[in-house]
Structure formats: structure tokens, C-alpha cells
Amino acid sequence: MSDVLLESEPSMDNRSPRHGVEQLSMQQALNLALDEVLAENSKALIFGEDCGRLGGVFRVTDGLRAKYGNGRVFDTPLAESGILGMAVGLAMAGFHPIPEVQFDGFAYPAINQIVCQIARMNYRSRGILPMPITLRVPSFGGIRAPEHHGESLEALFAHVPGLKVASPSNPHEAYHLLKYAATRPDPVIFMEPKSRYWQKGEVHFDSADATSPPDGSSPGGGSPTGAKVMREGRHLTLVAWGAMVARCLQVAGLAAEDGIDIEVLDLRWLKPIDEAALEASVRKTRRAVVVHEAPLTSGLGAEVAQLITRSCFDTLKAPVERVTGFDVPYPSGDLEDEYIPNIDRILFGIQRVLEYRRG
């Protein structure tokens, strides 16, 4: 086998951070963020199945191997535990691995390495061996894909001590969250909503806090690890993440026609959860619905609902509702619109909360 490193010469044209505003798809925004991370940190490495030559099945790593060489961006054999186990060793050697798992459903073979090793090595070594690993996982459903290509693993990851979990809802968030995550010293599971890869949106390079789409409604958020108000409202808070944020914004638009003024909170970080943002929003609206694609039982919606209930118990007008996927395996394309929370089901959930009367 020829030298693993020198198969392609790294180019010297490293990209420097952008300014201003650009219209990009989420795939482009993520690609740009990775490009900048690689340029800024010579210890950052990208690897996984088909991320090199092919640029990833979603092209998120497109062009990076040609630019940074096969030592920085490389294809691995087809074994997810191998990929993540290798990431641990590279992190121990001082690298900043940014591995990819090709699809959500193929993170399961790597769960042992993620839970028992990545999440615990910092703790086990008493802080001497940090795990600055950013694991990119194309996630959630909605693209009529084969089995195991539409899973939502956030509840699993959020339950694991030692992991942080983020999910962007649009190109702006994707760019800033990934740049932030991939420069932290702790492991982050980065869940990319694959159904949104090709949706374009404005990316504001100078401010991570700019709300996007910038409809002028609210600056929102503040901390890079916080949730963000994507639309302000007075009557009810919709809490969502990933691809469900866009759907909730749609629902809020429809509800507004009926005079119902809905606030949409993009959680952004699924661990740690921004409890203060939840409390602030629901103290104001006094009603909440949490929306996610994952199955209902023991989903992250339960945690969100419980956090809200605990902090806002005395102001809540109704129990928090959950509008989620069902407790069934993610179905085939023909049925996925029946499974993923749709506009109707979210509106029904909102209605249940608005019409709630104490018994």
C-alpha cells in the first residue's frame, strides 16, 4: 500500500473566516465551517466512511481531502466502532477528531465506544485525557430513505454523562454551532437534520446570534450554548430542534392567522439544555408544546416537559404537551409523513393546550 499520507498534496489556499452575509445551503454552511476549522487547527482531522474521495454521501466534506490532504481528511474501512475507537486514540495523542457516522442508524455499532470510552475518558483520566471529539451524525427522517436512515438518537445521547449534544435548524445555526462545537475540548454529538441539507438560508458570519431567517422578530439567544427564540409570541411556546424548528415556524405562521401568537424556541443544545431559556419563555406564554421526531416514550420531550413543569409549575395553564413520533420503528417512506409530527398534529397539540380546563 502506498504511503497513507501523501496520496494528495495539501493545498496552501487555506480559507480564512468570512464576513458579512451569504445565502448558503446547510450542506454548504457545514462544509465551510469544517474548512475553516481544518485551516485554523492543524490538529483537526476528518474521517469516516466515504468522507474523503466522495466528500461524504451528503457532500458535507466535499473538496476537503483535495485541499488538506489524505492525512487530514480520510476514508476509513466500514466499521463504526473502529472509527470512533480510533477517534479516542487520536484524541489521546492530541488530535481533534471530527469523525462522521454516515447515518444516524449506523451510530449503534459505535455506541459502546461512544458511551464507555468517548464520554468517560476525561473523567476516567481525571481530566488528563480530554476527548475533543466532534461526531457528526446526519440525523432524523424525512427523505424517504431505506431502513435505519431516519433515526433520532438525541434522547440516548443526552442521557449519557460526558457527552454534549447539538443540532442546528438552519444554515446559519449549522455554520456557527459546528464551528463552536469543533473547537471545544469536550465531546459533542452533532446531529445534522439531513432533510434540511439542501435548504438555503442566510448565514451571518459576523454574529453567531443573528436569528436566521432574520425576520426581524427577535435577536434571541445569546450564549453559543443556549437555546434561541426563533419567533417571539405571547400565547404558547413551541420547543423544537433540528428539522422540526422550520415546521414549528410554519405552524406559528398558520396559527397567527387565527390570532394565536406562538413563540418558537430552537433548543439548539440538547445537552446541556438551556433551562433558563425554557423558563423565561414559558413564564411569559404560560403554555408549551414540545415537538420531536423521535418516539414519544422516554424521548427528550419528556425531559423538556419536566424541566418546564418544574420551573413554571405555578404559572402553567395546562400540562406541557408532546407532539412526537410514535412508539414504533421508523417506518418506510410511504408512511413517514404519518410518523413525523406534521402541521395538523402540531396544531392539534396546540389546541389541546389552549383548550385545557382544570377538571
Partner 1 sequence: MVTAMDTLPTPATGSEAVPLSGPAAPPLTDDELRALYSLMVSVRHLDTSAIAWQRQGLIPGYAPELGQEAAQVGSGFAVDTSRDFVFPTYRELGVARAMGVDMVAYMSTHKATWHGGLYDPLESRLAPIQAVVGGSVLHAVGWAHGQTLTGPADGRLGVAMAYFGDGASSQGDIHEAMNFAAVMKAPVVFFVQNNGWAISLPTELQVAGGSVAGRAAGYGIPALRIDGNDVVAVVDATRRAFAHCRAGNGPVLIEAMTYRRGPHSTSDDPGRYRSLNEERDGAGEDPLERFRQRLLADGVAGEAFFAEALAAAKAEEEEIRAGIQALGPRPGSEMFDLVFQETTPALRAQAASWREESEHV
Q: Which does 334 bind (CB under 5 to 8 A by kind): partner 1, ligand TPP, a second copy, none?
A: partner 1
Of 159, 200, 284, 286, which lies in the binding site for a second copy, with binding defined by CB under 8 A? Answer: 159
Distance CA 200, CA 180 (A): 21
335, amino acid identity: L
Q: Toward a second copy, which CB reaches closer, 34 or 270?
A: 270
Cis peptide before 224 (omega within 30 of 0): no
Stretch that binds a second copy, among 14-22, 182-190, 195-203, 324-332 (CB under 8 A): 324-332
The least distance separating ligand TPP from the CB of residue 10, rounded to whole angstroms, comes to: 26
Query: Is residue 348 near partner 1 by the rule CB under 8 A?
Result: yes
151, amino acid identity: E
Q: Which does 88 bind (CB under 5 to 8 A by kind): ligand TPP, partner 1, a second copy, none?
A: partner 1
* Positions marked catalytic: 149
Phi and psi, residue 292, nearest 5°? -150, 165
Distance CA 70, CA 7 (A): 6
Distance CA 246, CA 266 (A): 9
Q: Toward partner 1, which CB reaches closer, 150 or 201?
A: 150
Distance CA 335, CA 303 (A): 27
Q: Toward partner 1, which CB reaches closer, 22 or 321?
A: 321
Q: Toward ligand TPP, which CB reaches closer, 120 or 164?
A: 120
The least distance separating a second copy from the CB of residue 299, rounded to whole angstroms, comes to: 6
Counting Cβ atoms within 10 Å, is residue 213 exposed (0-12), middle (13-18) or buried (19+)? middle
The three grid cell numbers given for residue 283, joined into one nine-digit string: 413564564
Determine how β-strand 321-325 pairs with β-strand 288-295: parallel
Residues that bind a second copy (CB under 8 A): 81, 105, 108-109, 111-112, 115-116, 119-120, 123-124, 147-148, 155-156, 158-162, 271, 273, 294-295, 297-303, 305-306, 309-310, 313-314, 318-320, 322, 326-329, 356, 358-359
